[in-house]
Structure 1
Amino acid sequence: MTNTIIQLATRLIYRNRWMSLREDKVRFPGGHEGIYTVVDKPDFAVIIPVHDDGRLQLVQQYRYSVGGRYWELPQGSWEDAAVVEAEALARGELEEETGYRARTIEHLGATFAAYGFVNQRGHIYLAQGLVPGELKREVTEEDMITASFTMDEVLAMIRSGEIMDSITIGALGYWKLLADK
């Protein structure tokens, strides 16, 4: 028995500027055939912005898909760019969403957003030496606010449900794991 799922055919179901949805006819390792639906999305960057005093800069916005406002780390992708270098994306998203630029930025690693159905990879960056820049928010981010919090406050926000974004929680956990090496 093989450990891979083999694609037999594919068809595009839907496409817009931000994503596409396809349905693949596949053969599973046991030999039976079925379908697998995949969301194709461009890679993204999630940024952990740390001020010199240790405070983290977060953003809050209304998330239509879940009907609520939540705090999260700055993050995003550039859907209109054919090829984007991950560090340039991270620097751009940081300034766009928070109004800060980073003197230093370090790639910590990468993770998949939800690899059970979407192929989007997230690049985790640690941004330090924050200096004021210029807000450059997109039209869809007009309601976004930004504020800084201590790590204890951020952890309390996770416990209370003010932060429910799995990318944010995962990136902070990844950073903590690396720091504890």
Structure 2
Amino acid sequence: MLDLTEKLLQSHPIYNGRIIRVRRDEVLLPDGGHGLREVVDHPGGVGILALDDKGQVALVRQYRYAVGEHLWEIPAGKREKGEEPRITARRELHEEVGADAERWTDLGTLIASPGCYAERLYLYKAEGLTFTRQHLDEDEFLEVRFFPFEEVVEKCLNGQLQDAKTVAVVLKAKVLREKSGL
């Protein structure tokens, strides 16, 4: 197999924000040439496919400023420094949906845009939900609704749901469900 690894020569910080850090790296290319790479560092996050006792999926609707749209998405959030992804998932489900889950299934990881964005998302399925109340961050405003699983699958397929982590985890769960015969 070819070694296509690019090796870091120099890194130049461009921006250090509250959540992200942007840098421009000079790299040594596999053919010996030099290249520039712009990278957005992010602490990573989680996405949760939360299913209630009727098999309905919790989706949250919120305004996403970067794209200027209201989007329906699975509950999700940013990892705190050093926080284990499963702990983040439990925290985010509690904060956004006001729920705790009895059963957690690891559904793998997702790298949404590896060309420049260094964020890894850890995906989980949460079942056996019990409800309390939401604990939203002070700058977080969202609506929670439960939708039948097959309706959510259809929304992914017809483009009504466009959030990458939501589409990926829903379609992955659909395939896994079909493989297991459930």
Check whether TM > 0.5: yes
Q: Does 1:164 align with 2:162?
A: yes
Aligned letter for 2:73?
E
Alignment match, 1:132:
131
Alignment match, 2:48:
47
Give per-residue Cα distances to partners, 1:26-83, cap 9 Å, x unaligned.
11112221200111001211000001111001100000011110101001113xx331
Alignment match, 1:34:
35
Structure 1 residues 2 and 57: CA distance shift in structure 2, 3 A: closer
Percent identity, aligned pairs only, is 33
Aligned letter for 1:175?
A
Give per-residue Cα distances to partners, 1:85-143, cap 9 Å, x unaligned.
1111001101111111111112121121211111111111110011112211112212x
Alignment match, 1:67:
68
Structure 1: any 5+ residue segments left out of the alignment? none
Question: In the TM superposition, what is the alpha-carbon distance from 1:16 to its structure 2 partner?
Answer: 0.9
> Residue 117 of structure 2 aligns to a residue in which SS?
coil
Aligned letter for 1:106?
T
Aligned letter for 1:35?
L
Q: Does 1:146 align with 2:147?
A: no
Question: In the TM superposition, what is the alpha-carbon distance from 1:10 to its structure 2 partner?
Answer: 0.2
Question: In the TM superposition, what is the alpha-carbon distance from 1:174 to its structure 2 partner?
Answer: 2.2
RMSD: 1.5
Question: In the TM superposition, what is the alpha-carbon distance from 1:160 to its structure 2 partner?
Answer: 4.7
Alpha-carbon distance in structure 2 between the residues aligned to 1:28 and 1:174: 35
Give per-residue Cα distances to partners, 1:139-178, cap 9 Å, x unaligned.
2212x00000012221333345431101110111222333
Structure 2: any 5+ residue segments left out of the alignment? none
Alignment match, 1:123:
122
Alpha-carbon distance in structure 1 between the residues aligned to 2:60 and 2:42: 22
Q: How does 1:62-101 map to 2 (within 5 A)?
A: 62-78=63-79, 81-101=80-100
TM-score, normalised by the number of residues in structure 2: 0.91
Q: How does 1:165-180 map to 2 (within 5 A)?
A: 165-180=163-178
Aligned letter for 2:34?
E
Aligned letter for 2:122?
H
